[in-house]
Structure 1
């Protein structure tokens, strides 16, 4: 469900594993100064619910697949997760999802099916904080639509909301929504670059635009960037 993203010139590698018969997040790469995140999925004909991974610059030292290498894994089955008390809403696609914090799972970013996570590694922040929060979810899992099945419909100007545990809401405006080749995503400053001035959400999943690799995984990712209003 995704593509791997390697951090060029870095010793760490961030890995997302979001893939599926028609999954979402997969691999993504980060710029030399930040992790990578991208997504891809196996072709509709593939009999798999796993997702590709994005690589985090911090994974290599831990034995994760080095940047540029491909890795796949079955997405964990749907299971209870400890939510962070923060939820994500995108009204234009009727999305309302609880978020949970998670790092690498077996060297990859791979949230359980039916869940949406925010990544805790490589200097990424929690949603709602100054900096860039990387949020990942699947497009499909087990051959069925998953939480980010309609993310591709999001457009520039759309509103994204975050709701805190106390019920307070924060609004973001989409400033970028586009298909990104996994290799380009590896050096995408919007996702992995240093950000010390703006509350930003980088929402990543996989996309069919550039077709599929030989192993059946999608080549491209769909990236939504939303900044606090």
Structure 2
């Protein structure tokens, strides 16, 4: 699958700005505490803790494996960009979550893209049965700390190369839901149509 252009520095700048805002808020809480007493600081920090806990993932969390409804064996996950040929090319038996094009990590708010081969060297691979997944089934993602996340399949498509590259469902900048899109790196034939199998799973 041809990868999109590399991500810009915009997201890193946004994260840096958010960190500066957090520091400013904590400094303000400290000043308030000097006037109102220690209790004000405790309340401010407690509120911040609750806000942070509401986030689906901390910065240190990474998805390490995925369970599909079509297989009893879990698929190993790791982060990856594109190779020298500008393609996302997972190793046999694994899938990768794409780190470019401003895609988020699986489980975060936004759209994560996970890519695996349907076959390698003529043998079935990690995403061999992706086309048999149906709407309403569940995909389970496990993170390094043991936390699991279940996503409901909302759409299954077969897209030609150009359709995949232009798909807003895969590459759009949505921030309304926690979405993970599974894509076969190679094109396969499904019901007479050849293309990449695309499975969309979202947090219900």
TM bracket, shorter-chain basis? 0.5 to 0.7
Q: Which residue of 1 aligns with 2:72?
A: 94
Q: Which residue of 2 aligns with 1:146?
A: 125
Q: Which residue of 1 aligns with 2:136?
A: 157
1:91 alignment partner, SS class: coil
Q: Can you give the 5+ residue segments of structure 1 that lack an aligned partner in the other structure?
A: 1-26, 28-53, 60-83, 213-218
Listed as ranges, the matches of 1:1-229 within 5 Å are 27=1, 54-58=2-6, 84=62, 86-106=64-84, 107-205=86-184, 206-209=187-190, 219-229=194-204
Q: Structure 2 CA distance, aligned partners of 1:55 and 1:156?
A: 26
More contact order relative to length (CA 8 Å, sep ≥ 6):
1
* CA shift for structure 1 position 92: 3.5
* CA shift for structure 1 position 208: 0.9
Once structures 1 and 2 are overlaid, which stretch shifts more, 202-211 or 151-160?
A: 202-211
* CA shift for structure 1 position 220: 0.8
1:93 alignment partner, SS class: coil
TM superposition score normalised by structure 1: 0.59
Going by fraction, where is helix more abundant, 1 or 2?
Answer: 2
Number of matched residues? Answer: 147
Are the aligned partners of 1:95 and 1:147 in contact in 2 as well (CA < 8 Å)?
A: no
Q: Can you give the 5+ residue segments of structure 2 that lack an aligned partner in the other structure?
A: 8-61
1:184 alignment partner, SS class: helix
Per the alignment, do residues 175 and 85 of structure 1 end up closer, same or farther by CA in structure 2, a change over 3 Å counting?
closer
2:74 alignment partner, SS class: strand
Q: Structure 2 CA distance, aligned partners of 1:85 and 1:129?
A: 11
Are the aligned partners of 2:4 and 2:165 in contact in 1 as well (CA < 8 Å)?
A: no
* CA shift for structure 1 position 171: 1.0
